[in-house]
Amino acid sequence: MKALVTGATGFVGQALVRQMLADGRSAVRAAVRRETGALPAGVECVVTGDLADLNGETSWRTALSGADAVVHLAARVHVMRESASDPLSEFRRVNVAASLELATRAAAAGVRRFVYVSSVKVNGESGTYTEADAPAPEDAYGVSKHEAEVGLRRIADETGLEVVIIRPPLVYGPGVRANFRALMHAVARGIPLPLGAIDNRRSLVASDNLADFILTCVNHAAARNQTFLVSDGEDLSTTNLVRRLAGAMGRRARLFPVPASFLMMAATLAGQREAARRLIGSLQVDISRARRLLNWTPPISVDEGLRRAVAAL
C-alpha cells in the first residue's frame, strides 16, 4: 500500500511518518510545500506548493498517482493571535475548499481511502461527547472543520471514496507548542501556579497515540466511512496534569489553590476568558467506538506520553 500524507512535516505528521515507517505496511509519500530535510530516509517527497492555492496540477497529479490512501493533516489551525480581517473566510479557503478539492482529485486518481484529521471542536468546547452527538462548533476553526466533514461525506457518497474522519482533542507530545508548551516551561522553571483546586476533566491524546490510531484507520476495513473520537483513554484534571508533568520532569509541582470561579473572573477581566476556560472547564470524549469497531487501545499511557513530551522540551 502507498499512502500520501499532507502536513507530514508538522507536529502530528512527523509522529505519523515515524509510525508508518516502523509499521512497514505502507510506502510513505509526503506532499510538501517546499523542499525539506525534515523527513526521514525512506519517505518519498513531492513538492506541491501551498494546498490552498490549488495551482499545482502536475505536482498534485504526481503526488496522488498510485496512492491507495491519503491522510490529510495539512490545515489552517487554531490561531492564537488572529491577523486575518475575516478569519472564517480564511479558514474556509484552506480547511474546506482545499480539503474538498484534494478529496475530489484523490477520488478521480483512484485513491481508495481518505483519512481526514478533524477536531473535537466540531462537537463543541465543553461537555462529554460521543460521535452520535450533534455538531456544535463555536469558533471559526471548528466551523470550518465541520463544513469540511460535511463536504467529504458528500464526496464519499458521490464517488465511492472511503472517508474516515478523526476528531482528536488537545494533542501533546515531542514538539508541542502553544499553551501546552508554555505550561511545561512554567512547571520546569518551578513557577508557582494557581491551579491547585481545579476539579475538571479533560481528554488529551499523545501524538504517538494519535499517529497509531491514524495508521489503524488507514488499514482497518471497519474504519470505512466512519467518524471517530480519539484520546489517551484517561481524562485528567488540570491540577493532576500539572502534577503528572512535574513527575515526568522529576520535580515537585508548585501549586496553590485558587477557586475556579475566581480564576475565571480574573481571566475574563484580562481578556483571557477562552484560555481560562480551557484550563478550568471540562471536555471529555468517549472512545468506545474506536475500541469496539477497530479493537484499538492507546499503545502508550498518559505518563509515557508526558515523559516523551518533556524529554523533547
Tell me the mean pLDDT in the region 230-245.
Answer: 97
Neighbours of 216 (CB within 10 A): 21
- Looking at the domain 2-172+205-231+286-299, which fold is it? Rossmann fold (3.40.50)
The C-alpha cell at 181 is 508548551
Q: Does residue 172 carry a catalytic annotation?
A: no
The C-alpha cell at 241 is 496534569
> How would DSSP label each residue in 244-287?
HHHHHHT----B----HHHHHHHHHHTT-HHHHHHHHS-EEE--
pTM: 0.94
The residue with greater pLDDT, 58 or 210, is 210
Contacts of 265 (CB under 8 A, 6+ apart): none
Tell me the mean pLDDT in the region 97-124.
Answer: 96
Identify the active-site residue in 116, 129, 141, 172: 141
**pLDDT for 146-197, tens place per residue?**
999 999 999 999 999 999 999 999 999 999 988 899 999 999 999 999 999 9
**Domain layout of the chain by residue ranges:** 2-172+205-231+286-299, 178-201+236-283
Separation of alpha carbons 154 and 225, rounded Å: 11
